[in-house]
Structure 1
Amino acid sequence: MASVGSADRPTAVVLGAGGFVGRNVCAALRATGRPVAAVARRPAGLPDGCRPVPFDVARGDPAALAAALAPLRPGLVVNAAGALWNVTDDELTAGNVTLVERLVRAVEALADPVRLVHIGTAYEYGVHPDDTLAETLPARPVGRYAQTKLAATRIVTRAAAEGRVSATVLRIPVALGPFIPAESLLGGLARQLAAHPAELRLPPLDGVRRDLIDVRDVADAVLCAARAPRLPPVVNIGSGRLVPLADTVDALIRIAGTGANAPEIVRGPAPAGRRDAGAGDRPLDIGLARREFGWAPARTVTDALHALWGSTRVPHTSQHHT
């Protein structure tokens, strides 16, 4: 169990530490020697080395959360939590909006200065005709998931603009890498290949292109945001280019090494209620991240797929939150 942070190594608090993004953020923070505390409803499934802080942020009082955080004297709070897979509209609101409202109020109430890094999504932009998605574009999301994430972004950026918190929002596209959930496209396909390598059921992917980022590069961006002298309200963290998803699936099949015979492809319908409803196929403009954070993606899609496949064969609990 991690100890409370010292003056030279203040504690980093991570919400959603047991999820896909949060788990990798914790690993990156721990690699720097920083104490990490994980705020979660249940202590089970948290990454090794994290100090558990049992608390249900979506239901708890902000003052009570501030009281739980105060003894840790955190210098950084990362929100990688949120409702994402197999949830109702009410659960999306609770996990993506109410949780962030209460977190911001709790961080604001802490006596010592704290930096807040919130993980947003590129789906907040919606469809634009521009060649790339820059932070200056208006956000006009269509799907309920993206709408609730935009509401959270506005809560964070408003608090920062009013000087109530020091905060930034990292907007990420489709993330790949170790411990990706089974509910995601590539995570589900990897588990199919591990369990039944002779057959692969695919939704329609013809012409579908997405900006893909290794989740470990996202974690590195969190570290950059934690130490940046200036914090833009919103920063894109992506690869800056589009990749055909069909090609990505082919690469995963090769990495899985299913033998001399390629799996039989069974075409199925598109899943209902996709979280990327209304998202266009435009890459993120990552110039601001380069200029303000000195950040750039260091890993390729192939790197991410190798890590994804490696973690698929390691038993772990699937998470339903970011």
Structure 2
Amino acid sequence: MSSLIRSSCLTGFPALVSSLGGQSAPLLRQAGIRPEAIEDPDEYIPYRALVTALDLAAGRLDCPDFGLRLSKHQGLDILGPVGVIGRHATSVGDAIDGIGRFLYQYSPAIESAVERAGAVADYHFRIRPRVQRTLVDVAQIGELSLGASLQIFRMLIGPEFVPLRVALPHRPAAPMTTYETYFGCQVSAEQDHLGFHFAADVLDRPVEGSDPAVRRLVLEYLSGVVGGAVGSGLPAEVRSTVKRALPTRRFGLEDVAESFGLHPRTLQRQLAAHGTTYQEIVDEVRHELADRYLRTTAMPLAQLADVLGYSEQSSFSRSCRRWFGCSPQAHRAATAQGPLSP
């Protein structure tokens, strides 16, 4: 089973690579990521491809702290609707709990939690074991994730927030002084977890500018649509997810169900309650996109088949005959709207 993550996880990647004298597009393509994916923060990319992109950048650009540097470009906004929960929570503790509860909507490959023990609290970030077992090296992705977590804490608490100490489970990729300067505290490597300790009283601080009404609406949305309850928006949300995932080839039932935090059979059952199936939704999305691209662009058929997630152009052609009663070339000729753009 493949795990996905919102492409917003690469916020700042092109700018950082450019500042280091590199080009981001070739690195992304080699990792299996379309460079255009970054332009749509709601698109999903394979989690393993993200890890590969970070490792390639760190190695090619001779920048061992690449993941940590990239985290400086990130914060609550990369989480999409999940970040809104944090921004509009009543307290910092509620914000962190809400983000942890719905983090799977950002990526089902990861999880986070805060444990409070007296005057000290522990923040833990973890790549789910079944995902981590497929990865060769998690140093860069771990440092990006922990660094981004620090940025989120500072957005909620204030720029003055500094952990008491930081734990890295891996051997440090950069000199320890790099980490101590970034986090502003003692950093220990090769520990049994990834996270940091901090003063627990900050969890009781109010979040400035929060709006309980906005938080309530987003919670209802995530709980009812994304979290699994049968709501009227579920088929539309599945359609949207499929549309974003088609070019990645990661749009199987298992992949999409995982991005919703559901078992595949549960997703199928809930879609059936709306009178549709997952297979029907995939076919409808492909039909709609094929019609639009054939009418409005001159995109080569092989490229179009790839964008729609087909492994072979012949399979795309068969679908067109079923949808339109003719070949894709014939449908384009009959429906083209003026001069076509590439």
Q: Give TM-score scaled by structure 1 length.
A: 0.29
**TM-score of the aligned structures, taking structure 2 as reference length:** 0.28
Q: Which structure is larger by alpha-carbon Rg, 1 or 2?
A: 2
Q: Which has the higher strand share?
A: 1
Tell which has more relative contact order, 1 or 2 (C-alpha 8 A, sep 6+): 1
More helix by share: 2
